[in-house]
Amino acid sequence: MNEEQINRLVSEIRKEQQVSPSLPDTNFVSYVKQGEFDINEIAGCKINYEKDLKARELLKNYVLYANHKRLAEFKELYLAEYVTLQLRYNRDTNVS
């Protein structure tokens, strides 16, 4: 994601999650970047979060849990969504 997309997502997250204005955007930008990397790594490709709304929702939830320092719980609760992304984006055609 580019900086403009990240900033739009941060703004969206702030509105949806009613985040205190005292928390700096830099925290959320960092969480978005971490979450994007984590989700892309699991999916095995770079996801377009503007088009894939399920992946976008997962990323927003990642930020919510990261903001509350509960990423271990997030990984447990959202394991099925990670697996779904892996299946959707894994196009391994190397059939032996």
What are the average pLDDT values for consecutive 10-residue runs of the chain, which has 96 residues?
A: 94 86 85 96 92 96 94 95 89 55
Contact present, 10 and 28 (Cβ < 8 Å): yes
* pLDDT value for 94: 55
The pLDDT, as a whole number, for residue 17 is 84
Amino acid of residue 71 = L
Two tokens at 43?
């999916």
- Which of 46, 64, 65 lies closest to 5, judged by CA? 46
For the chain, domain boundaries:
3-14+24-89
Decide: pTM greater than 0.95.
Answer: no
Please tell me the predicted confidence (pLDDT) of residue 92. 59
From residue 66, alpha-carbon distances to 33, 63, 86 in Å are 11, 5, 21
- Whether 49 and 56 have beta carbons less than 8 Å apart is answered as yes
Residues in the chain: 96
